Amino acid sequence: MDNFDKAAKIIDTADALLITAGVGMGVDSGLPDFRGAQGFWKAYPPLRKAGITFAEMANPAQFLDHPKRAWGFYGHRINLYRSTAPHAGFYRLLELGKTMAGGYFVFTSNVDGQFQKAGYEEERIEECHGSINHLQCTLPCGADIWPADDLTIKVDERNFEAADPLPRCKHCSALCRPNVLMFGDWNWISARTDSQEKRFNNWLKENLKNSHKAVIVELGAGTAVATVRFTSEQIAKNYDAALIRINPRDYETPPGHISLPVSAEEGVERIYQLIAGA
151-185 pLDDT tens trace = 999 999 888 899 999 999 999 999 999 999 999 99
Does 261 have pLDDT greater than 60? yes
Produce one character per residue of 149-158: b if its CB has 16 or more CB atoms within 10 Å, e if not: eebebebeee
Q: Which of 5-9, 48-52, 220-224 has the highest mean predicted lDDT (pLDDT)?
A: 5-9
Mean pLDDT of 108-131: 98
| pLDDT at site 167 | 98
Does 37 have pLDDT greater than 60? no
| pLDDT at site 115 | 98
| pLDDT at site 256 | 95
DSSP the chain: --HHHHHHHHHHT-SEEEEEE-GGGGGGGT-----HHHHHHHH-HHHHHHT--HHHHSSTHHHHH-HHHHHHHHHHHHHHHHHPPPPHHHHHHHHHHHTSTT-EEEEE---S-HHHHTT--GGGEEETTEEEEEEEESS-SSS--EE-TT----EETTTTEEPSSPPB-TTT-SBEEEEE--TT-S----HHHHHHHHHHHHHHHHHHHTT--EEEEEES--SSS-HHHHHHHHHHHHTT-EEEEE-SSS----TTSEEE-S-HHHHHHHHHHHHHT-
Of the candidate CATH numbers 3.40.50.2000, 3.40.710.10, 3.40.50.1220, 3.10.20.30, the domain formed by 3-276 belongs to 3.40.50.1220
pLDDT in tens, 196-221: 999 999 999 999 999 999 999 999 99
d(CA 178, CA 23): 18
Mean pLDDT of 220-229: 90
Residue type at 193? T
pTM: 0.96
pLDDT in tens, 81-92: 999 999 999 999
Mean pLDDT of 224-252: 95
Angle CA(117)–CA(23)–CA(113) in degrees, nearest 5? 20
Angle CA(19)–CA(238)–CA(6) in degrees, nearest 5? 55
HSE-CB for 45 with a 13 A CA cutoff: 3
From 57, 52, 50, select the one nearest 71 (Cα to Cα).
57
d(CA 181, CA 189): 8
d(CA 121, CA 1): 34
Does 278 have pLDDT greater than 70? no
| pLDDT at site 35 | 66
| pLDDT at site 33 | 80
